[in-house]
Amino acid sequence: MRIGGGRARVRFWAASRKQTCRRGRGAADSRAVTFKPEFIARVIERRAELQRALTALLPTPRAIVWEVGCGHGHFLVRYASEHPEKFCVGVDIIMDRLERGEKKRDRAQLQNCHFMRAEAREFFNALPPHVTFEEVWVLFPDPWPKARHNKNRLLKADFFNAIASRAVPGAKFFFRTDHEEYFREVEQTMAGLETWQRDPAAAWPLEQETVFQARAPKYFSLVALRTASPAPTVELVGPGQPPLTIPTSPA
């Protein structure tokens, strides 16, 4: 199943922020952002459509394997085929990748592998409350290498704490990248969290070469386990995107 229409390029579907929102100009609210009504309408419909699709896909309590940025589905289809007891969902925002993944799944006749078009944070927020994570995979995400773009990186403390709030005891997080600076940043972030603990001795459970792994001269891997510490409450919204409670502005 998918709605609407690798590297987990967590870029946003909407038009640029310049076209869709306005910053306050006063000294007191120089960082405040409001959004144009037509943009808000698109966001509300997209979020509602994703909620409907996920409710249909996951109508009952279930722990899932989630791959963020599933690309062409090479990894997820292989993983689902080797673990028929697991329910696997991959998300990407590029339709061609999802269609390729679905073709691989259909050829393998898998009933436990699904692909959805969604930005990672919006997928998380749209999940039914009875859905949890047993594994989260992020393989070769977009490293956003320029310093001014680092804010767009997905793997920050708020993301880890958010998925921890939905993770079953003993859940695992898997991360692999060919960008060493991004890897070191994630290592440092992980070390400062109470909700996840890196497991240096953990084995990588499946080696399935992806498009980006094939191109990488070297890469770095990390496995972390969900701890027993309670997860703080966070609102998981990407840069330039409206909060879950959306402020509007005059047209």
pLDDT for 153-210, tens place per residue?
Answer: 999 999 999 999 999 999 999 999 999 999 999 999 999 999 999 999 999 999 877 7
Output the pLDDT for position 15: 37
| Mean pLDDT value of segment 46-50 | 95
Sheet with 131-139: list strands edge to edge: 113-117, 88-92, 62-68, 131-139, 167-177, 220-226, 196-198
The CATH architecture assigned to 17-23+31-226 reads 3-Layer(aba) Sandwich (3.40)
Q: With contact defined as beta carbons under 8 Å apart, do 187 and 157 qualify?
A: no
Output the pLDDT for position 10: 36
What DSSP assignment string belongs to 198-228? Answer: E-TTPPPS-----HHHHH-S--EEEEEEE-S
Can you tell me which residue has the tokens 């963020």?
Answer: 68
Residue 34 pLDDT class (50, 70, 90 cuts):
confident
Is 60 exceeded by the pLDDT of residue 77? yes
Give 227 or 33, the one with higher predicted confidence: 227
If 0-12 CB within 10 Å is exposed, 13-18 middle and 19+ buried, where does residue 18 land?
Answer: exposed
Interstrand relation of 131-139 and 113-117 (parallel, antiparallel or unpaired): unpaired
At residue 212, φ and ψ (nearest 5 deg) are -75, -35
Per residue, the 3-state secondary structure of 105-151, as one string, reads HHHHCCCCEEEEECCHHHHHHHCCCCEEEEEEEEECCCCCCCHHHHH
Instruction: Return the exposure string of 170-186: e unless at least 16 CB atoms fall within 10 Å of the residue's CB, then b.
Output: ebbbbbbbbbeebbebb
Output the pLDDT for position 166: 97
pTM of this structure: 0.85
And the tokens for 181? 């600076």
Output the pLDDT for position 194: 97
Is 80 exceeded by the pLDDT of residue 211? no
Which of 110-119, 200-209, 224-233 is predicted with the least confidence, judged by mean pLDDT? 200-209
Q: With contact defined as beta carbons under 8 Å apart, do 39 and 21 qualify?
A: yes
| Mean pLDDT value of segment 51-66 | 98
What does the mean pLDDT of the chain come to? 87
| Mean pLDDT value of segment 102-119 | 98
Neighbouring-strand partners of residue 64: 133
Please give the share of the chain, as a percent, with pLDDT higher than 90.
Answer: 71
Neighbouring-strand partners of residue 92: 117
Angstrom distance (rounded) from CA 145 to CA 142:
8
Is 60 exceeded by the pLDDT of residue 72? yes
Residue 249 pLDDT class (50, 70, 90 cuts):
low
Is 70 exceeded by the pLDDT of residue 16? no
Neighbouring-strand partners of residue 68: 91, 138
